């Protein structure tokens, strides 16, 4: 196999277009920063270039999200069509949000470049800008609806509250507090707060989704773009409130980077998303809310230690977040307990499938063999014998031929139930296959072998009602009781062979009795020949490992 021919190599080839586009974006941002730093050429040309570049990047982000929606339409992630519709609409709304931001930037560019005006704050351009958090926020919510299972939806909401609340605390202490103090009341303050708060709300949803869809490169790019956009918007609000914002600064390069990252979604490979009910959040998703929460609470603790007042907003926020954290941990404890119960039920079901006969409910051959070996080891340690009975129902094929297989199944189930009810709780009843059963007794008790045979035959005295018709059934029974000698495994094997041989002896006797004195059935002739040849032991002797019937 050549290098790169495996799954890892295929995944690398899928990412090559993305890496090329990422390199092109890095060159564009680096060139913008160098131009802004050196201010080569007229300032008006730089302003126009920066404004137009932002329009282009926002348009590219809108195009990339729409292309992603088409990819979702042709390569559905989910088995549920409703979830696929949510996924499709989500990417379209995120793309519409980017287009709205681009229209806002077109208005800004027209006023600043074409009309040569100093754009006021707030302005008509802010309507387009703020369309992004509204539309993209709804889109992120639909993504959560599509990808988060219903039974973990409440915990996902609490995780979103914890992340957004923690980010709000951090943003308040770094940017928002100074904005509120310096901005005019009314519409300017509302618009100033809408930018960072909207970005943080969307970012909280998207980052939480990453942990639940770890293979989705597009979602990671969206989270990276929104993180960069949140930084740019917070810096814009802070600089505008202090009267220091001007086109051509680092903030503009940050906006270009943000929408450029979203635009890279066009080259991201398709995502894989499991619809299995066992598929839950990964370790990253479970730990993620704690990181910003610890940072936010840590900054509040530092302020309190310095003796600085934290204010009413932070006090309420901290209280709500602590309560949300307590509820979330309680839900996690309940979900863990539920998971443990499900695992136990699943384990019991798998054990039944592995060790119980599906038709009769008694032990199957595998469980009987395992238990026989275990008890042989125990009997060897105690120096006590084991008792094994081998049972073969007579006339079972005739029941199937005359009354059908359903009646035959009823016969097997009824006989297994009768035998299980007749023996002690410590005895093991097993169906070895077809109409053959086995009974294992000991080493805790050693009943008389003839009594064991009578006990089995007593379960057959009453006729079996099959298809409304009483049907008598007989059986051939072979019982052996021996001390454990040699290896435990050899003794267990010998016991089952010996009981099988005794059963055949009983079957020959029954056939001979039914045919009359001096008559041998074909089966009896075969058995007699085998016995005369020394292949079958006389009553009471052990069979060697190499012997057979």
Residues composing the chain: 549
Helix, strand, coil shares of the chain, percent, nearest 5, are 70, 5, 25
pLDDT of residue 527: 35
Cross-strand pairs, 469: 466
pLDDT of residue 104: 93
**Least confident stretch, 67-81, 186-200, 530-544:** 530-544
The two structure tokens encoding residue 235? 């810096």
Residue 66's pLDDT is 94
CA 344, CA 113: separation in Å to the nearest integer?
Answer: 69
CB 460 within 8 A of CB 475: yes
Question: CA dist 184 to 159, 187, 190, 198, 241, Å?
Answer: 34, 8, 9, 20, 9
pLDDT (tens digit per residue) in 420-470: 999 998 899 999 988 999 999 988 888 889 999 999 999 988 888 888 888
Asked which of 172-176, 453-457, 538-542 is least confident by mean pLDDT, the reply is 538-542
Pairing of strands 428-433, 436-441: antiparallel
542 pLDDT exceeds 90?
Answer: no
Mean pLDDT, the chain, integer = 78
- The pLDDT assigned to 222 comes to 87
Output the pLDDT for position 244.
74
Is there a contact between 131 and 100 (Cβ–Cβ < 8 Å)? Answer: yes
Cα–Cα distances in angstroms (integers) from residue 548 to residues 152, 161, 475, 476, in the given order: 60, 73, 22, 19
In whole angstroms, what is the distance from residue 426 CA to residue 445 CA?
9
Percent of the chain with pLDDT over 70: 78
Count of H-run helices and E-run strands, the chain? 18, 6
536 Rama class: left (phi>0) / alpha (psi -120 to 50) / beta: beta
pLDDT band of 96, cuts 50, 70, 90: very high
Q: E strand or H helix at 388, and its extent?
A: strand 386-394
Task: Name every residue whose Cβ is closer than 8 Å to that of residue 406 and which is 6 or more positions away in sequence.
Answer: 467
Residue 33 pLDDT level (bands cut at 50, 70, 90): confident
Evaluate if residue 543 carries a pLDDT over 60. Answer: no
Q: What is the pLDDT of residue 421?
A: 92
292-310 mean pLDDT = 76
Burial class (CB in 10 A: 0-12, 13-18, 19+), 129: buried
Average pLDDT over residues 277-285: 49
How many CA atoms, within 13 angstroms, populate the side-chain half-sphere of residue 277?
4
Q: How far is CA 312 from CA 163, 165, 169, 177, 188, in A?
A: 20, 14, 12, 12, 22
Note whether 520 and 512 are within 8 A (CB). Answer: yes
Per-residue burial over 31-49, b if 16 or more Cβ lie within 10 Å, else e, is ebeebbeeeeeeeeebbbb
What does the pLDDT average to over 253-276? 82
Helices 81-109 and 124-147 sit at what angle, rounded to 10 degrees? Answer: 160
The answer to whether the beta carbons of residues 50 and 252 sit under 8 Å apart is yes
pLDDT band at 246 (very low <50, low <70, confident <90, very high): confident
pLDDT band at 60 (very low <50, low <70, confident <90, very high): very high
Q: In this predicted structure, what is the pLDDT of residue 227?
A: 81
> What tokens were used for 47?
């302003």
Lowest mean per-residue pLDDT among 6-10, 25-29, 52-56, 200-204: 6-10
Q: What CA–CA distance (Å, rounded) separates 129 from 127?
A: 6
DSSP state of 433: E
Confidence of residue 41 (pLDDT cuts 50, 70, 90): low
Over residues 312-321, the pLDDT tens digits come to: 777 777 787 7
CA separation for the pair 523, 521 (Å, rounded)? 5
Q: What are phi and psi of 146, to 5 degrees?
A: -80, -30
The conformation of residue 356, written as its DSSP 8-state character, comes to: B
pLDDT at 269 > cutoff 70: yes
Taking residues 212-227, what's their average pLDDT?
79
Virtual torsion, Cα 506, 507, 509, 511, nearest 10 deg: 160
When pLDDT is cut at 50, 70 and 90, the band that residue 283 belongs to is: low
Q: Which of 237-246, 264-273, 479-488 has the highest mean pLDDT?
A: 264-273
Return d(Cα 268, Cα 499) in angstroms, integer: 68
Got the DSSP string for 456-490? HHHTTSSPEEETTEEE--EEEEEEEEE---S-HHH
| pLDDT interval class at 4 (50, 70, 90) | very low
Torsion from C-alpha of 408, 411, 413, 419, nearest 10 degrees: -150
Neighbours of 6 (CB within 10 A): 11
The backbone torsions φ and ψ at residue 474, rounded to the nearest 5 degrees and listed phi first, read -115, 175
pLDDT reading at 35 higher than 90:
no
Give tens-digit pLDDT for 339-354. Answer: 788 888 877 777 666 7
Mean per-residue pLDDT, 1-24 = 64
Q: Which residue has the tokens 């009602």?
A: 465
pLDDT digits (tens, 9 = 90+) for 393-417: 988 888 888 888 888 999 999 999 9
- Residue 230 phi/psi, 5° resolution? -65, -40
pLDDT tier for residue 11 given thresholds of 50, 70 and 90: low
């Amino acid at each position: 196999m050549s290098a790169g021919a495996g799954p890892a190599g295929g995944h690398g080839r899928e990412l090559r277009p993305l890496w090329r586009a990422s390199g092109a974006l890095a060159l564009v941002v680096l060139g913008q920063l160098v131009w802004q730093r050196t201010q080569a050429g007229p300032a008006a040309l730089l302003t126009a270039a920066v404004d137009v570049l932002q329009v282009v990047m926002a348009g590219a982000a809108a195009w990339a999200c729409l292309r992603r929606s088409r990819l979702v339409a042709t390569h559905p992630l989910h088995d549920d069509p409703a979830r696929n519709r949510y996924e499709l609409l989500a990417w379209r709304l995120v793309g519409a949000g980017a287009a709205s931001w681009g229209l806002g930037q077109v208005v800004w560019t027209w006023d600043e470049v074409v009309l040569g005006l100093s754009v006021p704050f707030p302005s008509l351009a802010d309507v387009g800008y703020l369309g992004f958090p509204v539309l993209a926020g709804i889109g992120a919510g639909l993504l959560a609806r599509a990808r988060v299972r219903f039974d973990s939806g409440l915990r996902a909401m609490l995780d979103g509250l914890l992340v957004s609340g923690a980010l709000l605390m951090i943003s308040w202490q770094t940017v928002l507090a100074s904005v509120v103090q310096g901005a005019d009341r009314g519409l300017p303050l509302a618009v100033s707060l809408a930018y960072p708060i909207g970005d943080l709300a969307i970012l909280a949803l998207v980052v939480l989704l990453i942990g639940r869809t770890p293979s989705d490169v597009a979602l990671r790019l969206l989270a990276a773009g929104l993180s960069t956009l949140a930084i740019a918007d917070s810096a814009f609000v802070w600089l505008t409130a202090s009267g220091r914002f001007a086109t051509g600064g680092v903030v503009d390069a940050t906006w270009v980077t943000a929408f450029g990252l979203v635009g890279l979604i066009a080259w991201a490979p398709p995502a894989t998303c499991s619809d299995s009910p066992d598929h839950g959040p990964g370790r990253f998703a479970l730990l993620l809310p704690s990181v910003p929460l610890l940072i936010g609470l840590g900054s509040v603790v530092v302020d309190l230690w310095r003796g600085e007042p934290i204010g009413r907003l932070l006090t309420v926020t901290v209280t709500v977040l602590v309560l949300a954290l307590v509820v979330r941990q309680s839900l996690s404890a309940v979900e863990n307990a539920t998971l443990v119960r499900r695992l136990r039920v699943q384990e019991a079901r798998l054990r039944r499938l592995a060790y119980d006969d599906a038709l009769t409910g008694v032990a199957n051959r595998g469980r009987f063999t395992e238990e026989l070996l275990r008890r042989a080891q125990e009997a060897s340690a105690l120096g006590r014998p084991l008792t094994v009975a081998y049972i073969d129902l007579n006339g079972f094929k005739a029941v199937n031929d005359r009354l059908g297989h359903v009646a035959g199944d009823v016969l097997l189930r009824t006989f297994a139930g009768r035998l299980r009810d007749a023996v002690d709780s410590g005895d093991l009843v097993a169906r070895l296959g077809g109409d053959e059963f086995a009974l294992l007794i000991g080493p805790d008790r050693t009943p008389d072998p003839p009594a064991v045979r009578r006990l089995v035959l007593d379960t057959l005295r009453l006729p079996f009602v099959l298809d409304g018709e009483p049907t008598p059934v007989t059986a051939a029974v072979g019982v052996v009781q021996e001390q454990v000698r040699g290896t435990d495994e050899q003794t267990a094997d010998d016991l089952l062979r010996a009981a099988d041989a005794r059963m055949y002896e009983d079957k020959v006797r029954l056939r001979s009795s039914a045919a009359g004195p001096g008559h041998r059935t074909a089966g009896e002739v075969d058995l007699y020949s085998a016995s005369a040849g020394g292949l079958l032991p006389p009553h009471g002797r052990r069979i060697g490992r190499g012997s057979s019937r």
